[in-house]
Amino acid sequence: MDGFDLDSPLVCEGIIGDGCGGGRIFFIESDALQVYDPTTKKRRVLLEEVNKARSLSKMGCKIIIILQEREIEFDLSSVDRED
């Protein structure tokens, strides 16, 4: 989809109706959590300094980023980070 490898551990797709970000692609690139909207074809940085990311997943309004040494939860509804 739009050049994204949905099988990559650093890419996940927002499911329409699951809370927040439905239909968008979330991914880690250049040490930043980014979102791509296939409708507008625009991308936006949501969170910087995401170093040594190993995996990315989404459940409802939460993006979970597994780093080498810790985990980050990013709440899409409040655009806030929890370490």
Q: What is the pLDDT of residue 42?
A: 95
Q: What is the pLDDT of residues 22-73, one digit of tens each?
A: 889 999 999 999 999 999 999 999 999 999 999 999 998 999 999 999 999 9
So where are the chain's domains?
A: 11-78
Return the pLDDT at 19: 72
Q: 21 exposed, middle or buried (CB, 10 Å; 0-12, 13-18, 19+)?
A: buried
* pLDDT of amino acid 9: 95
At 2 the pLDDT is: 65
CA 63 vs CA 13, 35, 41, 46: distances in Å = 11, 11, 21, 11
**What does the pLDDT read at residue 26?**
96
CATH of 11-78, one of 3.40.50, 2.40.10, 2.60.120, 3.30.70: 2.40.10
